[in-house]
């Protein structure tokens, strides 16, 4: 009896030790910098309290203004900056001095430094040109991914593109010379069919190979250890299996996320809120099982024509959910080339301004003052 009891106790102790050695929520990069490890741990913790609110290109421009130091549409409405800044590298691969939304890369680096130094987090996407056809990221030419994998005829072209991305990411430095951590979101909306890395343009296996090659190249060849890697589908999955169909592996992913937008009035179409809640439940289950972080990597309702959208729809759909962050897409304003107006955060005087202030005051929405209080990098 005694021996059996001892054996059971011993076995339980081993089981406990080995499960704690699995290090829940450790980064996939064992050599990640101190600040990067800390950011990941803090996001893990802060996600129990609430979600960081982010905004794409927040410091660069807003509705009716561009490149004015200190400005931010979100700050002008709430008195506080967003907790997370989204930036975009499309254009860098062809040596353009500005990204595809006209933000000069030199200015972008300054904005990234500013946000980081105030305590905010940084996330980066890359709508890179199609390396096979040299057209834009929105050229879903079949065969592109196959052509850039190792051994493929366009592999070198892709590697040259990646070298430019790596140089940019390596050059983001804080005041002590430390590299600024980045939530890097390569090949985003991967289950959609509009980008060259999309679901209709490559097989799941080709996609996984591309993702793995990219992360491992940045890590081992370019020695980048400031990256938290974000796996990001579009919002079109119904099951965990669908969400994970192109998942490249736990060793190259830290955050599991999706993008979803409201298009129709919430009065006539509840599908945005319903799907957001359902899909976040799936993603949170995946995150928990894999010791990753869940996030809503892009969202919004362009022009926010519904005055109570923030508390009435978004915060309601996110109730009892724990994404680490929610990124609102960019306040482009009027786009003459497309003759459309696009913005996802309110500006002063916009119809949802008052509700956004209520949204700001909710305990679960974290803006930059919260991020500074949380000391994301310590
Ligand atoms: C899209 C739009 C485009 C933009 C692109 C990349 O959703 O906002 O105007 O060029 O993202 O940022």
pLDDT, position 123: 99
CA–CA separation, 165 and 99 (whole Å): 12
> What are the C-alpha distances in Å from 340 to residues 74, 264, 331?
21, 16, 12
Instruction: Identify the CA nearest to 164 among candidates 223, 93, 74, 244.
Output: 93
Kindly give the confidence (pLDDT) of every residue in the chain, 378 residues in length, as a single tens digit, with 9 standing for 90 and above: 444 444 544 444 444 444 434 456 799 999 999 999 999 999 999 999 999 999 999 999 999 999 999 999 999 999 999 999 999 999 999 999 999 999 999 999 999 999 999 999 999 999 999 999 999 999 999 999 999 999 999 999 999 999 999 999 999 999 999 999 999 999 999 999 999 999 999 999 999 999 999 999 999 999 999 999 999 999 999 999 999 999 999 999 999 999 999 999 999 999 999 999 999 999 999 999 999 999 999 999 999 999 999 999 999 999 999 999 999 999 999 999 999 999 999 999 999 999 999 999 999 999 999 999 999 999
Burial of 365 (0-12, 13-18, 19+ CB in 10 A): buried
The predicted model scores a pTM of: 0.94
Half-sphere exposure of 60 (CA within 13 A, CB side): 26
The preferred substitution site among 188, 194, 329, 330 for testing ligand 1, maximizing ligand atoms within 8 Å of CB, is 330
pLDDT, position 10: 47
Instruction: Identify the CA nearest to 230 among candidates 186, 286, 191.
Output: 186
Structural contact between residues 246 and 207, judged by C-beta atoms closer than 8 angstroms = yes
Structural contact between residues 221 and 259, judged by C-beta atoms closer than 8 angstroms = no
| 342 within ligand 1 shell (Cβ under 6 A) | yes
Residue nearest to atom 5 of ligand 1 (CA): 101
Q: Is the dihedral of CA 186, 187, 190, 195 positive or negative?
A: positive
pLDDT, position 114: 98
Q: Is the dihedral of CA 42, 45, 47, 50 positive or negative?
A: negative
Q: Are strands 121-125 and 182-185 parallel, antiparallel or unpaired?
A: parallel
| 240 within ligand 1 shell (Cβ under 6 A) | no
**Tokens encoding 293:** 């972080």
What distance in angstroms lies between residue 303's CA and the mean position of ligand 1's atoms?
15
pLDDT, position 23: 55
Delineate the domains of the chain, giving CATH numbers in brackets.
2-15+36-374 (3.20.20.80)
Structural contact between residues 122 and 110, judged by C-beta atoms closer than 8 angstroms = no
Structural contact between residues 286 and 239, judged by C-beta atoms closer than 8 angstroms = no
Structural contact between residues 321 and 273, judged by C-beta atoms closer than 8 angstroms = no
Structural contact between residues 314 and 321, judged by C-beta atoms closer than 8 angstroms = no
For ligand 1, what atom is nearest to the CA of residue 127? 6
Query: Which position has the token pair 């609430």?
Result: 50
For ligand 1, what atom is nearest to the CA of residue 101? 10
The preferred substitution site among 101, 127, 341, 344 for testing ligand 1, maximizing ligand atoms within 8 Å of CB, is 101
Instruction: Identify the CA nearest to 255 among candidates 290, 306, 222.
Output: 290
Residues recorded for the chain: 378
What distance in angstroms lies between residue 228's CA and the mean position of ligand 1's atoms?
23
> 258-285 burial by CB neighbour count: b if 16+ within 10 A, else e?
bbbebeeebeeeeebbebbeebbebbbe
CA–CA separation, 325 and 50 (whole Å): 8
What are the φ/ψ torsions at residue 125 (nearest 5 degrees)? Answer: -115, 170
């Amino acid at each position: 009896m005694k021996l059996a009891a001892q054996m059971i106790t011993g076995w339980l102790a081993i089981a406990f030790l080995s499960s704690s050695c699995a290090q829940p929520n450790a980064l996939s990069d064992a050599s990640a910098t101190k600040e990067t490890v800390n950011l990941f741990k803090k996001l893990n913790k802060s996600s129990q309290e609430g979600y960081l609110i982010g905004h794409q290109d927040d410091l660069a421009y807003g509705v009716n203004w561009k490149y004015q130091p200190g400005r931010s549409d979100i700050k002008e409405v709430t008195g506080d900056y967003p907790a997370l800044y989204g930036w975009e590298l499309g254009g860098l691969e062809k040596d353009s001095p500005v990204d595809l939304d006209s933000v000069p890369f030199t200015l972008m680096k300054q904005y990234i430094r500013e946000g980081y130094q105030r305590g905010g987090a940084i996330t980066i996407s890359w709508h890179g040109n199609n390396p096979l056809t040299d057209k834009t990221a929105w050229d879903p030419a079949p065969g592109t991914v196959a052509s850039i994998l190792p051994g493929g005829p366009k592999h070198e072209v892709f590697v040259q593109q990646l070298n430019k991305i790596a140089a940019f990411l390596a050059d983001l430095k804080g005041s002590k010379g430390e590299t600024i951590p980045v939530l890097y979101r390569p090949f985003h909306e991967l289950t959609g069919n509009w980008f060259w890395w999309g679901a209709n343009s490559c097989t799941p296996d080709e996609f996984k190979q591309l993702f793995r090659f990219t992360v491992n190249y940045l890590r081992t060849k370019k020695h980048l250890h400031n990256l938290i890697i974000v796996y990001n589908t579009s919002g079109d999955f119904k099951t965990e299996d669908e969400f994970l169909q192109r998942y490249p592996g736990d060793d190259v992913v830290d955050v599991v996320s999706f993008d979803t937008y409201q298009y129709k009035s919430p009065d006539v179409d509840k599908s945005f809120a319903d799907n957001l809640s359902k899909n976040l439940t799936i993603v949170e289950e995946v995150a928990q099982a894999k010791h990753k972080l869940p996030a809503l990597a892009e969202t919004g309702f362009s022009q926010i024509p519904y005055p109570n959208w923030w508390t009435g729809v978004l915060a309601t759909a996110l109730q009892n959910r724990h994404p680490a962050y929610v990124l609102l897409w960019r306040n482009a304003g009027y786009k003459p080339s497309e003759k459309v107006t696009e913005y996802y955060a309110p500006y002063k005087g916009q119809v949802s301004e008052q509700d956004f202030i209520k949204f700001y005051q909710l305990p679960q929405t974290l803006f930059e003052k919260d991020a500074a209080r949380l000391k994301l990098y310590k």
